[in-house]
Structure 1
Amino acid sequence: MQPSYPSSLAPEEIASDGHEPVDVIKVSARSRSTAVAGAIAGVVREHQRAEVQAIGAGAVNQAVKAVAIARGYLAEDQIDVIVIPFFTEVTIDEQERTAVRMIVEPR
Structure 2
Amino acid sequence: MPDVKKAIEGTNAVYSVREDVSSLEISFPKMSKETRADLLKATKKQAEQARQHVRRVRQDAMNHAKKLKDAVSEDDVEVQKERIQKATDSAIAEIDKLLAAKEKDLNTV
TM-score, normalised on structure 1? Answer: 0.30
Please identify which structure carries the higher strand content: 1
- Greater C-alpha radius of gyration: 2
TM-score, normalised on structure 2? Answer: 0.30
Please identify which structure carries the higher helix content: 2
